[in-house]
Amino acid sequence: MMFRHLLTLILFFVAGYVLASEVKLSLETGRVKIKKQGNIRFISHSDPLNPLIVELELGEQILTGKNTRATIKMRGKEEEIRLRVDTLFRVNSLEPNQTEVEMPTGKARFKIKRKLNRKKKRKRQFNVRTVTALIGVRGTEFVMGTSGASTSLLTLDGSVEMAAAAAPQIKVEVSVGQASKMEVGKAPTPPITVPPALQSSIVESDSSETFGEVSFPPAQDLEEAVAEQKEKEEKEKEEQKEEKQEEEEEEEEEEEEEEEEEEEEEEDEEEEEE
């Protein structure tokens, strides 16, 4: 009994260490503040050629300072997030099939490799949560800027799904070279193609303000979008119900026709016997 309890504790601590070692902060230059449950530590570095590597625990909140260059690396180099200045970031969970991170404010460039879970034969899901949006990807590269009121996103490779945090069923798919914006009380804007020069400006800038140069189309009111989505789903259900009913009626008619044919055949056989 004692041996089993000891083994459980060892496995628990080993698992905790593995998870922690899978999340690392690479600080090239500048200063970051790391906080978790009241524990605060400040880390500074000034040698871009020899980045300082810091292991992070799940749930630790990172805040980058001015003139800071820092990268979060998870699962080796499969998931990399290059944080810009004044960015608040946290890794919430790191599961075999899913990674979930949170970025309430700031700007970052995400590089997520397509990784197949061999056991379940599906790609690992990578999710980003902001105040206004939920971002879902399975291998892609994108730049995102967010504040308390809005989230803007530019896809550089692959595709990204952006949904309203308050209504996850309201979403858009943002393809390569496209951008979308999500504001409080609004649905995501329809994806719009961004000129290459503006894409470069958004990628290179530390500030999210460069997203303001994108001419995003008007966004639909979120309540209206939810109502329309509900109406659409109800209509689809009704159509499916009608299709099923028609199929059942057709099957009944076919069965009746088969029965009639069988009866006619039996009658013909009886007449021949007579």
**Has residue 114 got a pLDDT over 70?**
yes
Digit-coded pLDDT (tens) for 144-180: 999 988 999 999 999 999 999 999 999 999 999 999 9
Mean pLDDT of 215-227: 95
The tens digit of pLDDT for each residue in 76-89 reads 889 999 999 999 99
Sequence-distant (6+) residues with CB within 8 A of 43 are 25, 27, 31, 32, 34, 52, 54
The pLDDT, as a whole number, for residue 102 is: 97
Residue 18 has pLDDT above 50, yes or no: no
What mean pLDDT value characterizes the chain? 87
Coil/strand/helix, residue 32: strand
Which amino acid makes up residue 128?
Answer: V
Question: What is the secondary structure of 191-214 as a DSSP string?
Answer: PEE--HHHHHHHHH-SSGGGGGGS
pLDDT at 220 over 50: yes
Query: Which of 105, 106, 31 has the alpha carbon at shortest distance from 70?
Result: 31
Residue-level pLDDT at 70? 97
DSSP E strands, 113-208: 116-117, 122-123, 125-129, 133-137, 140-146, 150-157, 160-164, 167-174, 178-183, 192-193
Q: What is the pLDDT of residues 49-75, one digit of tens each?
A: 999 999 999 999 999 999 999 999 999
End-to-end CA distance of the chain: 87
Name the percent of the chain lying above pLDDT 70.
Answer: 86
